[in-house]
Amino acid sequence: LGLRPKRTLRLVLWTGEEQGGVGAKQYYQLHKENISNFDIVMESDEGTFKPSGLGFAGSAEARDIVREIMTLLQPINVTDVYDTADGTDIAYWMRDGVPG
């Protein structure tokens, strides 16, 4: 389609969450000096299921943007934006103000 993202999209996979979150902590330690480059962090850790939306924690302005983005998923019925988000894998970033 010739589409190119306007920003770098980074997908990170690691192990060790159940052993104290060592993967997430190490990644954060290696990249926290660039935190201003992170617009949002996400994790999927609920297993295999039919999603209905996503949980979000961030400013009201950021929530409005997420809600707008979620309208693009209306054809597959994934439109809910829940009021909370958490997770070992993204907790370090969210603690420092990155929406999750």
Domain ranges of the chain: 17-96
All residue ranges of the chain with pLDDT < 70 are 15-18, 45-47
The pLDDT of residue 72 is 92
As a whole number of angstroms, the distance between CA 45 and CA 60 comes to: 25
The active-site residue, picked from 17, 18, 33, 68, is 17
**Catalytic (active site) residue 17:** yes
The pLDDT of residue 17 is 66
* Per-residue model confidence as pLDDT tens digits over 32-52: 999 998 888 888 766 677 888
Q: Is the pTM of this model over 0.75?
A: no
Q: What percent of the chain has pLDDT over 70?
A: 92
